[in-house]
Amino acid sequence: MTRAGMHLAELNVGRLLAPTDDPRVAEFMAALDRVNGLGKRMPGFVWMMEGSGAPGMGNTEAKIDGDPQFVSNLTVWESVETLEDFVWNTVHRAFYERRAEWFEVLGKMHFVMWWVPAGHHPTLEEALARLAHLQAHGDSEEAFGWAFLKEARLWKDHRCTQVAAE
C-alpha cells in the first residue's frame, strides 16, 4: 500500500556474535555489499543510511551504545509491497534465514517500521526512538512491525520464531 506523500522507513538492529573482522561472521560481512547493492537497485527503493563506503563494511560503523558488534540497517521504501519484495523474494531472504549463524538472539523487538514524508531520510537516533516506542507500547501508527500492516503478506510465511523476538 502506498500512502499519499509517505514512504515506509525501517530499522533492523542486530548484535553480531563476533567483531566484524572475525572469521565467524566473515560470510555475512562478505555478502553485505552484494545484498545492499541489490536492495538499492530494487523497484521501490528510496534511500539507505550509508557507512564509510569501505568495501565489505555496509553500515557496520554506526555503533549503538558504543558497542562495535551492534549493527543496524536503516532504509526507506516507496511501499510495504516493495520492501516485502526485497526482504522475502531476493537473496536477502537466504541471509535472513541464516541470521542465527551470525547474530545473537536479542530477546526483544529489534525491527521497526514507520511512515515518513517522501524525501525524509531518518537519522539513526530517530529510528532508535521509534524502536524504543514500539518496545514500550507495541504496534501503533508511531511505530510498528509487519503484523500491523494489513497489506503485508509475505512475512507471515517467513517471520521470526518467538525465541528470536520478532
**CATH for 75:** 3.30.70.100
83: in domain: yes
96: in domain: yes
Q: Say what the pLDDT of residue 154 is.
A: 63
156: in domain: yes
34: part of which helix (H) or strand (E)? helix 26-41
Q: Say what the pLDDT of residue 164 is.
A: 40
The pair phi, psi for residue 73, each rounded to 5°, is: -130, 120
Q: Say what the pLDDT of residue 50 is.
A: 82
88: in domain: yes
50: in domain: yes
114: in domain: yes
1: in domain: no
DSSP reduced 3-state for 63: coil
Number of domains in the chain: 1
11: in domain: yes
**Chain centroid to CA 86:** 11
Task: Tell me the residue range of the domain where 122 lies.
Answer: 6-164
In this prediction, the residues of the chain whose per-residue pLDDT falls under 70 are 1-2, 51-63, 154-166
Q: Say what the pLDDT of residue 163 is.
A: 37
Residues whose CB falls within 8 Å of the CB of residue 1, separated by 6 or more in sequence, listed in order: 79, 80, 81, 149, 150, 151
Q: Say what the pLDDT of residue 156 is.
A: 62
Q: Say what the pLDDT of residue 165 is.
A: 38
